[in-house]
Amino acid sequence: MTITELTDDEFSKFCGLIYRAAGIRIADSKRIMVGNRLRRRLRATGIGGFAEYYGYLTSAAGAGEMPQFLDAMTTNETYFFRDPQHYQWLGGEFLPELARSAAMRRPPRRLRIWSAACSTGEEPYSMAIEVAEKRPILAGWDIRILGTDISGAALAEARAGRYDARALRLVEPARRLAFFDEDAAAGRWAVKADLKALVSWKLHNLLMPLREELFDCIFIKNVLIYFDRDSKQVVVKNLLAALAPGGYLLVGPTEGVYNMLEPLEKRKTWLYRKPGG
């Protein structure tokens, strides 16, 4: 099967479709990337050209292909403990503060953390390591870490919990031994079952409200850079609605939403607290 180059009109149509479905703007500089990833979907589906594939995606018959298309267009590389200062705050300040506060109140004691746009799971598992290391001060707590992403393929990798050495490059040897099992022959590290048990996963589009209980802490990192202002405002509204009074929102340095967070109290350049609680 011979596939011609992506035309200007086809590139524009696919970019428009990605924006309508996920709120993500694709830069003109990503044209080669889009074309290459589309070719993979053409080979997988047996469809002969870009125009035919677009017609299929936008038809009722192509509804089942749409998640695969978005997977191909939105999956990005990540790794454990990206931006270490964020996890130092989580384990060194936030969790002890929460435990002290809970000690002054009556049970039940609970902790809910949301990793929004978690990709292949390195972020929520990094959170889980910080939580697991604070078990002595969180004994008996009801703990849940939720990882969500628009990519079903990324979530499948997250559930499997198997990573190469590159993804673990910031994980100290002692932590590797404590929380991973090494498969030296395959060059992979598998997340141990007790750490996996702290994390659950859900397919979710950030443009839609998350129908869950409120969260004590939300991470949103390295994703909103791809959204335009209107889409960012929708996402921020949904994030704030999901944040418990007194809860913290942690944002990445490239998200470009700082001027949209006025209802929150700024604690650091990347950390905001919701009043109340």
Q: Give the strand order in the sheet containing 188-191.
A: 162-164, 188-191, 180-183
Report yes or no on whether pTM surpasses 0.85: no
C-alpha distances in Å from residue 24, one per residue of 65, 147, 183:
18, 19, 37
- Distance, in Å, from the CA atom of 112 to the CA atom of 140, rounded to the nearest integer, reads 14
Instruction: Indicate whether 1 pLDDT > 50.
Output: no
According to the model, what pLDDT value does residue 70 have? 83
E strand intervals along the chain: 110-116, 142-149, 162-164, 180-183, 188-191, 199-203, 215-220, 243-251, 265-268, 271-273
Question: Which residues does 189 contact at the CB level (< 8 Å), separation at least 6?
Answer: 162, 163, 164, 165, 167, 168, 176, 180, 181, 182, 183
Instruction: Indicate whether 107 pLDDT > 70.
Output: no
Q: Read off the pLDDT band of 3 (50, 70, 90).
A: low
Query: CA 38, 42, 47 angle in degrees (round to 5)?
Result: 140
Out of 41, 71, 112, 149, pick the active-site residue: 149
Out of 37, 144, 159, 273, pick the active-site residue: 37
Residue 44, SS3? helix
Query: CA 183, 85, 220 angle in degrees (round to 5)?
Result: 85
Calculate mean pLDDT across residues 49-78: 85
Catalytic residue list contains 100: no
Over residues 122-171, the pLDDT tens digits come to 999 999 999 999 999 999 999 999 999 988 888 999 999 999 999 999 99
Q: Are 150 and 235 in contact (CB under 8 A)?
A: no
Task: Read off the tokens for 34.
Answer: 């889009």
Task: Read off the tokens for 263.
Answer: 């209802």
All structural domains of the chain, each given as residue ranges with its CATH number in brackets, are: 8-74 (1.10.155.10), 84-273 (3.40.50.150)
According to the model, what pLDDT value does residue 106 have? 61
Catalytic residue list contains 228: no
